[in-house]
Amino acid sequence: MPHRSCILLLCIVGSMLALEGAAMLNLTLPGQHPDPEAVVNEVHRMVNGSMARREMLLTVSSCLTGNPIDDCWKCDPDWPNNRQRLADCAIGFGQHAKGGKDGAFYVVTDSSDDDAVNPKPGTLRYAVIQNEPLWIVFPSNMKIKLSQELIFNSYKTLDGRGADVHIVGGGCITLQYISNVIIHNIHIHHCHPSGNTNVRSSPDHYGYRTLSDGDGISIFGSKDIWIDHCTLSRCKDGLIDAVMGSTGITISNNYFSHHNEVMLLGHSDDYLPDSGMQVTIAFNHFGPMLVQRMPRCRRGYIHVVNNDFTRWQMYAIGGSGEPTINSQGNRYTAPLNPFAKEVTKRVDTAEGKWKGWNWRSEGDIMVNGAFFVASGEGVEVKYEKAYSVEPKSADRISQLTMSAGVLGVAKDNSVGMWSKGPNSQGQGDGVTWLVPEYTEDYSQGSRVVLPSSLTFTLVWSFLLLFILSTVIL
């Protein structure tokens, strides 16, 4: 009898899971905030406060920008000696990312990456696999060409301030089943697939890795992640992908360019744990030669706030699997192509199904014919106005995003030179460090290839213009 009772109980529980699986799984992700709207409102409060302080103190201090992240640390003239202050400056869903705060400083002195199983002390790979919290810094400009994907351990900060650091090559950065990582002020580009070999992930473990996708940053089953002031371009797959139950992520102040599929959030439409994914995308500049996925969302709650989108080639924000997309105070500048003016795209989903999805636009500025197709609650419900999302404040987007990307250097990762700082390797200060232009052979196929449908549209448009001009003449 007891066995039959247990079987009956399991059947009842199984039925409940089948009926309410999505709702129950929505509560299982560690780090998931129970009230995402509260996090959204807090972001607005922080922006409002920074903007108000800037306007009040503009005649006193030229340091304040109105960007709450930058104003948190950049106005400290002694910030190089207070680097870990940065860990207190995150906003949004990734605000609890500690990185290597309260840990030791690790100085990367060796830019080589010759052995993915037994990395040398002094290399970046040796630092990121350690078990203890580390705040990783660079005393000089570096180009680190990875031999395999760079697998992080938890509680690490990659702090590229004060140097010009480029990460390229195999992988590139993998955050898998870990937490509390900050990646700040790093160039990440020309990443290509690698693998089918052993790679170390901690001092105690290495294992066989199959072929990677070639993402710039791959976030897999991880939480409390903050990516800030990085410049990303020209990777084989995505520039940033977050999948498999990752949550508590903030992507801020970055500069994206020259890429097809920019950002993927969510593993698949059927992967229910991604319903608990929560991501803040703030103060980024989505720049030239981007095609699509800024981001492309599956499930989860995605807050897109105060970003500058410049002339995508297919669409800016897409999704499937019923994600919540909250777009507030962004500037969307549509491309010249008359067939690509829509900001949004519901991917492989009939209108009758996506009409109930909660996609809302508030205070967004639409330029050059751009338009956002809202749905669900966003169409009918009036949300409380916040200073940072009112249409008049969209003019301030240029102010909020003016320093997007790596600080103090050219934003385009294809540049072949950079200026040396006072503690760079070489023949003294002010010398130019030449680096060969990255080629397609080097990046193994990172060229932006237009989708066939878009290519056809552009060819047809040019052909039509040619015919019209011939007739007129």
DSSP lists the bridge partners of residue 303 as 280, 326
Please indicate whether residue 293 is annotated as part of the active site.
Answer: yes
| Helical segments of 257-401, H only | 351-354, 377-380, 397-401
Find out whether 342 and 375 touch, Cβ atoms under 8 Å: no
∠ CA 455-457-461, nearest 5°, is 120
Separation between Cα atoms, residue 105 and residue 100, nearest integer Å: 8
User: If you search the block for the tokens 């500025």, which residue do you land on?
Assistant: 365
Which SS3 state, helix, strand or coil, does residue 7 take? Answer: helix
Q: Where are the beta strands (DSSP E) in 267-358?
A: 278-282, 285-286, 290-292, 296-298, 301-305, 308-310, 317-320, 324-328, 331-333, 344-346
DSSP lists the bridge partners of residue 206 as 200
Separation between Cα atoms, residue 384 and residue 390, nearest integer Å: 10
CA dihedral 427, 428, 430, 431 (to 10 degrees): 0
Phi, psi of 74 (to 5 degrees): -70, -25
Catalytic residue, from 293, 296, 298, 331: name it.
Answer: 293
CA dihedral 41, 46, 52, 57 (to 10 degrees): 180
* 193, two tokens: 């697939």
Phi, psi of 221 (to 5 degrees): 60, 35
* 81, two tokens: 């000696």
Which SS3 state, helix, strand or coil, does residue 273 take? Answer: helix
Separation between Cα atoms, residue 343 and residue 281, nearest integer Å: 16
- By annotation, the residues acting in catalysis are 293
